[in-house]
Amino acid sequence: MNERASLATQFAEAARIVARIAAGASLTEQFARLSDEARESRAALIDLTHGTLRRYGRVQAIVAALARRGRPAPIVEALLWCSIYALESARYREHTVVDQAVKACGLIEQWPVKGFVNALLRRFLRERPVIEAQIATDAEAVHQHPRWWIDALRTAYRDEWHAMLAAGNGHPPMALRVNQRRIAPADYDAKLAANGTPARRIDAVGWLLETPLPVERVPGFAAGEVSVQDLGAQRAARCLDLHDGARVLDACAAPGGKTAHILELADVSLTALDIDATRAARIAPGLQRLGLTATIQVGDAARPEAWWDGRPFGRILADVPCSASGIVRRHPDIKWLRRAADLATFASQQRSILAGLWRVLAPGGKLLYATCSVFPQENDEVVEAFCAGERAAQRLPLPDGGPAQSLPDAERDGFFYALIQKQA
């Protein structure tokens, strides 16, 4: 299918998705519900939707500056956002974008606005320098994050906030974790070279691909020799201070990447717990691909009386729900769906989970508190308050020697880890 024949359809589908996101829907859920026809152009849809949402603050400001007669209907506004992104991405010829955006108006049943869409996009191309100057003082347009998010990072990270915002607008790296139970790291290194897959080895089992690949094209993936997992996420299992024979709980375990890494590192008895039955069902297939096994349970980590058998765990990974502010480049809708008040809500939930899991941790055992957040309200503040209120809780240095808070950069996402021991 040539560019002209397909782009209008892609614009229409992307506009429908982005309009739903603007109304509060989840981008992940929208892609899970794609029609069979839309799935055929998935790569193009990912580019249009994710690209638009990464630049959401900017494209919103541009369309607002150009729409002299007021805001158009939400679906038309979303089409314009996607079209502005497409023009700025330079992936398509300018006249093709304008022509196909106009054709997409019919596909989204907005025939009367064809002239409006055509005029607005052509005006953007003519007056781009003027528009740029007009939005230059709009913080959301410049940094492409909500204002409250910008302010929160500026307060918490006086020196790093600008780089963190820039990282949140970029494309995520793709990292691999070798399953040493299936292949030696040196042999996998040779396999990458033999397959002509450029990658850089970062540590004992972690590689960073120079260019992201569809998972089915990753050498050894189908054979269970390797998993796709961010380098920041790979710290979790290493920071849990594992040993053979331990009884381990991976709380909030789905989709199971950290569960698998724990089982790859040590011979342990592992229970993988998740509150969502649908998400919990995704754990077993991943373990099966890697040749690993675990006990999988559905239950609320904050209410262990509903699922716990009374035998304490020596190690617990508490990968708690959070704002996901450290991984927004992978899920660009998150920064626009979150609200400042959500941080307090997450912190309350995190405290409840910590309290519940503390009850099932053995004396002398260790609990690793983990988030993919960069906001202190969900991280240090939660851990410090918990340790202050629990006499038996002692925070320990992380076994890998790394910082508690890692910030998103070119190699990894942002994660927080805190290891807490229950004194005997």
CB atoms within 10 A of CB 148: 13
Beta-strand ranges (E) seen in 95-198 are 175-178
Counting residues of the chain whose pLDDT is more than 90, the rounded percentage is 93
| Per-residue confidence band for 33, with pLDDT thresholds at 50, 70 and 90 | confident
What confidence score (pLDDT) does residue 38 get?
59
**pLDDT greater than 70 at residue 35:** no
| Per-residue confidence band for 379, with pLDDT thresholds at 50, 70 and 90 | very high
Residue 252 zone, left/alpha/beta (φ > 0; ψ -120 to 50; rest): left
For residues 76-89, average pLDDT: 97
What confidence score (pLDDT) does residue 2 get?
46
For residues 148-172, average pLDDT: 97
Residue among 239, 252, 322, 372 flagged as catalytic: 372
User: Which residues, 6+ apart, have CB-to-CB distance to 384 below 8 Å?
Assistant: none
Task: Give the gyration radius of the chain's Cα atoms.
Answer: 24
Give the up-direction half-sphere exposure of residue 53: CA atoms within 13 A in the CB hemisphere: 29
Q: How far is CA 361 from CA 139, 147, 238, in A?
A: 46, 40, 19
Classify strands 313-319 and 361-371 as parallel, antiparallel or unpaired.
Answer: parallel
Tens of pLDDT along 2-25?
A: 444 489 999 999 999 999 999 999
| Per-residue confidence band for 424, with pLDDT thresholds at 50, 70 and 90 | confident
Active site residue 372: yes
Average pLDDT, the chain: 95
